[in-house]
């Protein structure tokens, strides 16, 4: 018995010493020990690399679309180049109104499937039927890729005033069935029958997607929109699937609302909504209605998901064909959609830089397109985005756009006011340390007057350092202070 205990204790001591040496080895290499097998080279490399900074360049499919789509995608390319985004586009033109110039549908679908992500412009769908297949090009792409969920984030842009401000809600639309089944026929002359397809499988899938989305993004309520009072079987099935799914998410509040009442509530009190889920046609209508609440089709981004592919585009689908070549289209929605694509690809740094700059341009109010009440062109907007902050920004620390080393970012941190004040004091001719009161001297060695002793501290008390636009402005403020105190 004693021998067995001695052997057991020896084995435990040996394992503990091995574990300690492993932890010490990992610690000496600069890695955080997360498991007992952290000393494996592959795991060490995985622990050392940040999740949001993937190596090398990436490829995404680009479909310019019809109307002003090619112009807007050109702007996205310019912004990405200025921001140093490590992304290459595999561009393919496909169109239903220009079939002679269009690529093959299977080739485009294969590109999306291979790259797993893409940026897409709006494809125009003709309103007339001249014989042939009723299924549109948009419908074919969605079904071949199984893009069952369309997500539109409706939010107010800072600094852009609309009838309702501070809006923030999500619209989730099932987009593979419903009224978009393309099953129509003329049973007898003058009588057309259109079939609306609703399946339990797809209804449960979109309901689960909506509740999962609400959980991941800390949303509190899901509203299922329907017309079950009239279409008791079709929309009734959709509503029952959402109700069943809601029981699996007890922390998420659930409610149902009829589509006509939903439209009225969106116009009168949109703040009550958080996440909305609905069938295909209702989603298309509500997407456009909600876009109008925050500024129109040019400011709302959207995205579509399958189990393996994500496609990013405008939230309100308008090709704006009448503006082709006029340089007046609003690129905000397309730029924000491209930021969502970068975030989906774990390029958070570039997504944040571009998105913050776009919102800054909108908030500034100097550069706005005609639909936002301004007089600027699309080109002016893109140039302002590029020259606002992107010229000062670059790839994440440690790597360049091509995965190589990058130079250190030499921008002055905004939160270090002491450094900024010292720079301003130097411009004014002061040689002082704001931490050492009463030791202010000019650069010629003479002491400051008692009234303006420690001038940076006075400036700090009067206003923020960021408001000092020039040395002359700061000197003028100090002179005014002298007169006041005298």
Domain range annotation of the chain: 56-125+134-145+318-409, 163-184+192-294, 417-485
| Pairing between β-strand 310-314 and β-strand 301-305 as defined by DSSP bridges | antiparallel
Q: Is pLDDT at 313 greater than 60 in this prediction?
A: yes
Q: Is pLDDT at 407 greater than 70 in this prediction?
A: no
How far is Cα 266 from Cα 279, in angstroms, rounded to an integer?
A: 17
Confidence class for position 321, pLDDT limits 50, 70, 90: confident
Torsion angle, CA of 284/288/294/295, rounded to 10 degrees? 150
Q: What is the DSSP-derived secondary structure letter of residue 467?
A: G
pLDDT tens per residue across span 177-223: 999 888 888 899 999 999 999 999 999 999 999 999 999 999 999 99
How far is Cα 423 from Cα 91, in angstroms, rounded to an integer?
A: 48
Residue scoring higher pLDDT (266 or 425): 266
**DSSP labels, 380-413:** HHHHHHHHHTGGG--SPTT--TTSS--PPP-PPP
| Residue 467 near residue 458 (C-beta atoms within 8 A) | no
Q: Is pLDDT at 316 greater than 80 in this prediction?
A: yes
Mean of the per-residue pLDDT values for the chain? Answer: 77
Confidence class for position 440, pLDDT limits 50, 70, 90: very low
Match 């700090």 to its residue by tokens.
460
pLDDT of residue 101: 85
Q: How many contiguous H segments (helices) and E segments (strands) does the chain have?
A: 15, 14
How far is Cα 315 from Cα 66, in angstroms, rounded to an integer?
A: 15
Exposure string of 110-140, with b = 16+ CB inside 10 Å and e = fewer, is ebbeebbbbbbbbbbeeeeeeeeeeebbbbb
pLDDT tens per residue across span 44-83: 444 444 444 556 899 999 999 999 999 999 999 999 999 9
Per mean pLDDT, which range of 92-106, 150-164, 385-399 is the poorest? Answer: 385-399
Confidence class for position 468, pLDDT limits 50, 70, 90: very low
| Residue 214 near residue 275 (C-beta atoms within 8 A) | yes
pLDDT tens per residue across span 352-362: 999 999 999 99
Q: What is the DSSP-derived secondary structure letter of residue 159?
A: T
pLDDT of residue 185: 87
3-state secondary structure of 161: coil
Task: Return the number of other C-beta atoms located less than 10 Å from residue 446's C-beta.
Answer: 8
Match 């006509």 to its residue by tokens.
260
Confidence class for position 341, pLDDT limits 50, 70, 90: very high
How far is Cα 6 from Cα 13, in angstroms, rounded to an integer?
A: 11
CATH fold of 163-184+192-294, please? Isopropylmalate Dehydrogenase (3.40.718)
Name which of 144, 208, 140, 141 is nearest 174 in CA terms: 208
pLDDT of residue 132: 65
Strand partners, 171: 152, 276
Q: Which CATH superfamily is domain 56-125+134-145+318-409 in?
A: Isopropylmalate Dehydrogenase (3.40.718.10)
pLDDT tens per residue across span 366-401: 999 999 999 999 999 999 999 886 544 544 444 444
Sign of CA dihedral 61, 67, 71, 76: negative
Q: Is pLDDT at 245 greater than 60 in this prediction?
A: yes
**Conformational region of residue 166, where left means phi above 0, alpha means psi within -120 to 50, and beta covers everything else:** left
pTM score, whole prediction: 0.71
| Residue 269 near residue 131 (C-beta atoms within 8 A) | no
């Amino acid at each position: 018995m004693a021998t067995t205990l001695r052997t057991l204790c020896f084995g435990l001591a040996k394992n503990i010493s091995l574990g300690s040496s492993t932890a010490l080895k990992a610690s000496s290499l600069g890695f955080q020990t997360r498991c007992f097998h952290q000393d494996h080279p592959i795991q060490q490399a995985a622990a050392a690399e940040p999740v949001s900074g993937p190596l090398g360049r990436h490829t995404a499919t680009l479909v310019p679309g019809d109307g002003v789509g090619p112009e807007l995608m050109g702007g996205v390319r310019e912004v990405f180049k200025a921001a140093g985004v490590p992304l290459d586009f595999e561009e393919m033109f496909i169109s239903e109104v220009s079939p002679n110039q269009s690529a093959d549908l299977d080739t485009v679908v294969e590109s999306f499937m291979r790259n797993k992500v893409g940026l897409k412009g709006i494809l125009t769908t003709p309103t007339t039927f001249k014989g042939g297949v009723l299924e549109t090009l948009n419908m074919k792409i969605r079904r071949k890729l199984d893009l069952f969920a369309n997500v539109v984030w409706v939010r107010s842009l800072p600094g852009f005033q609309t009838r309702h401000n501070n809006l923030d809600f999500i619209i989730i639309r099932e987009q593979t069935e419903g009224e978009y089944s393309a099953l129509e026929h003329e049973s007898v002359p003058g009588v057309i029958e259109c079939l609306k397809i609703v399946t339990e499988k797809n209804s449960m899938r979109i309901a689960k997607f909506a509740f999962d989305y609400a959980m991941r993004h800390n949303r509190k309520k899901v509203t299922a929109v329907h017309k079950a009072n009239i279409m008791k079987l079709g929309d009734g099935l959709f509503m029952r699937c959402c109700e069943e799914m809601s029981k699996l998410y007890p922390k998420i509040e659930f409610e149902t609302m009829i589509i006509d009442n939903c439209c009225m509530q969106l116009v009168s009190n949109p703040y009550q909504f958080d996440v909305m889920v609905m069938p295909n046609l209702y989603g298309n209508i509500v997407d456009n209605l909600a876009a109008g609440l925050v500024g129109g089709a040019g400011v709302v981004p959207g995205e579509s998901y399958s189990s393996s592919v994500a496609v990013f585009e405008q939230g309100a689908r308008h090709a704006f064909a009448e503006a082709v070549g006029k340089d007046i289209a609003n690129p905000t929605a397309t730029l924000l959609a491209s930021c969502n694509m970068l975030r989906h690809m774990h390029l958070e740094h570039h997504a944040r830089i571009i998105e913050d700059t776009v919102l800054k341009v909108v908030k500034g109010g100097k550069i706005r397109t005609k639909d936002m009440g301004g007089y600027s062109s699309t080109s002016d907007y893109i140039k302002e985005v590029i020259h606002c902050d992107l010229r000062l920004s670059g790839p994440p620390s440690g790597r360049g756009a091509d995965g190589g080393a990058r130079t250190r970012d030499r921008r002055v941190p905004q939160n270090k006011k002491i450094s900024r004040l010292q720079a301003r004091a130097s411009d004014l001719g002061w040689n002082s340390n704001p931490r050492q009161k009463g030791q202010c001297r000019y650069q010629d060695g003479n002491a400051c007057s008692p009234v303006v002793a420690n001038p940076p501290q006075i400036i700090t008390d009067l206003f923020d350092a960021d408001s000092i636009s020039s040395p002359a402005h700061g000197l003028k403020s100090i002179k005014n202070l002298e007169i006041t105190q005298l």
